[in-house]
C-alpha cells in the first residue's frame, strides 16, 4: 500500500492492520491507559482524529480505525458497505484487539455505528462522547430525504464516484470557518479516495440515509440503555448538514450528558476546535465513575 502522500508531520502514527471479512482494515493504536475508540463518519478516516489522538495519547490508549472503504483500509468494490455491516466489523475489531472497559468518541455515521456497539455491550463501554450526528431514521425528514434521493440519481452517482463530490464540495461547505480546511489538510481527504472505485463506501453512505431505517430504528428504540452512562456531547452550531434541532433529541434522550456548543464550528468540530475538545475530553475521562 502506497502511503507516501501522507504528511507524517500531521499524521505521525504507526499504521497497523487487522483482517476482517477477508479484507485489511487500517487503524492506529497510540499511547497507554484506558482505551478510547474513535469512530469516524464520511468522507473521513483516522486522519481526522490526529489532533485529538496527539493530545490524549499521553494518558490514554487511542485506537482510531479506518472503516472498510475509507482511509488506508482496503476498498473492495464488492463489499457490504451498509451501516449494519460497518457496525458488525467494528464489533469484530473490538474483539480482535481485546478492548475492555473503553470510552467512545464518534461523529456523523460513526456515531450510530459505535453506539450500536455500546447498546449491545453496555458493560464494556465506560463513557461516550460524540458530536454532530444522529441515531434515528431520517427518511421522513425532507432536510435529509430530498438530497439523499437526488444522490441516488444517475447524476448524484456520477458526481460522487467520478468527481469525489463529498470531499471536493460537501466537506468545504460543512466547515464553519472554511480557512481551517487548509489545502494540505484537504489533500489528505482527497487522496484517501483517489478513484471512482475507491469511492464506493462513501457513496453507499449517501444511500444509507434512506435505506438503513431498520438499523437506525433498532438503535434509537434502545437508546435508554445509554441514558445512565456519563456522556459529553459537542456540537458545531454552524453545521448545515446535521441541523441543530437534532441536538434537542440527544438532550432529551441523554439528559445527564454535558453539552458543549461551538458557536463558530460546523460539521467537523474535531478539525475546527481540537484544543477545546482535548481539554474537555481530558477532564471528562479523568473523573471517576
In the chain, where the domains are located:
16-286
Beta strand 102-107 with 35-39 is: parallel
The residue among 268, 162, 161, 171 whose CA lies nearest residue 204 is 161
Annotated active-site residue 108? The verdict is yes
What percent of the chain stands above pLDDT 70? 99
pLDDT at 2: 65
Pull the grid cell for residue 272. Answer: 475546527
- The stretch 202-206 carries a mean pLDDT of 96
Rounded to the nearest angstrom, the gap between the alpha carbon of residue 68 and the centroid of all alpha carbons in its chain is: 13
Task: Answer whether residue 203 shows pLDDT above 80.
Answer: yes
Query: Which residues are CB-contacts of 163 (< 8 A; sequence separation ≥ 6)?
Result: none
pLDDT, mean over the chain? 96
Higher pLDDT, 289 or 147: 147
Look at residue 108 and give its three-state secondary structure: helix
pLDDT at 1: 58
* Of 108, 116, 121, 197, catalytic: 108
Task: Answer whether residue 244 shows pLDDT above 70.
Answer: yes
pTM, full prediction: 0.97
Handedness of CA 176, 177, 178, 182 (dihedral sign): negative
* Of 29, 66, 74, 239, catalytic: 239
Classify domain 16-286 by CATH architecture: 3-Layer(aba) Sandwich (3.40)
Annotated active-site residue 267? The verdict is yes
- The stretch 135-149 carries a mean pLDDT of 93
pLDDT at 3: 83
CA distance 252 to 49: 28
pLDDT at 189: 98
pLDDT at 155: 95
pLDDT at 288: 73
Annotated active-site residue 40? The verdict is no
Residue 204: phi, psi to the nearest 5? -60, -35
Amino acid at each position: 500500500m502506497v502511503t507516501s502522500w501522507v504528511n507524517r508531520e500531521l499524521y505521525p502514527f504507526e499504521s497497523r492492520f487487522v483482517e476482517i471479512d477477508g479484507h485489511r482494515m487500517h487503524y492506529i493504536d497510540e499511547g497507554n491507559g484506558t482505551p478510547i475508540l474513535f469512530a469516524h463518519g464520511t468522507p473521513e478516516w483516522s486522519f481526522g482524529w490526529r489532533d485529538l489522538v496527539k493530545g490524549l495519547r499521553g494518558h490514554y490508549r487511542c485506537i482510531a480505525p479506518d472503516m472498510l472503504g475509507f482511509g488506508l483500509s482496503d476498498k473492495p468494490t464488492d463489499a457490504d458497505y451498509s451501516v449494519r455491516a460497518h457496525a458488525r466489523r467494528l464489533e469484530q475489531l473490538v474483539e480482535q484487539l481485546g478492548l475492555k472497559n473503553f470510552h467512545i468518541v464518534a461523529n456523523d455515521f460513526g456515531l450510530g455505528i459505535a453506539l450500536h456497539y455500546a447498546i449491545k455491550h453496555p458493560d464494556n463501554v465506560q463513557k461516550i462522547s460524540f458530536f454532530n450526528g444522529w441515531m434515528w431514521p431520517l427518511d421522513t425528514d425532507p432536510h435529509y430525504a430530498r438530497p439523499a434521493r437526488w444522490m441516488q440519481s444517475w447524476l448524484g452517482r456520477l458526481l460522487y464516484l467520478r468527481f469525489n463530490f463529498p470531499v471536493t464540495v460537501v466537506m468545504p461547505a460543512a466547515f464553519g470557518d472554511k480557512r481551517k480546511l487548509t489545502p494540505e489538510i484537504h489533500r489528505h481527504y482527497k487522496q484517501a479516495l483517489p478513484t471512482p472505485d475507491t469511492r464506493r463506501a462513501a457513496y453507499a453512505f449517501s444511500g444509507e440515509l434512506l435505506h438503513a431505517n431498520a438499523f437506525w430504528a433498532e438503535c434509537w428504540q434502545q437508546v435508554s440503555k445509554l441514558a445512565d452512562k456519563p456522556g459529553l456531547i459537542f456540537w458545531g452550531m454552524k453545521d448545515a448538514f446535521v441541523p441543530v434541532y437534532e441536538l434537542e433529541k440527544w438532550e432529551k434522550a441523554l439528559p445527564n450528558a454535558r453539552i458543549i456548543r461551538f458557536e463558530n464550528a460546523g460539521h467537523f468540530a474535531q478539525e475546527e476546535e481540537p484544543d477545546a475538545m482535548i481539554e474537555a475530553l481530558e477532564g471528562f475521562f479523568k473523573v471517576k465513575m
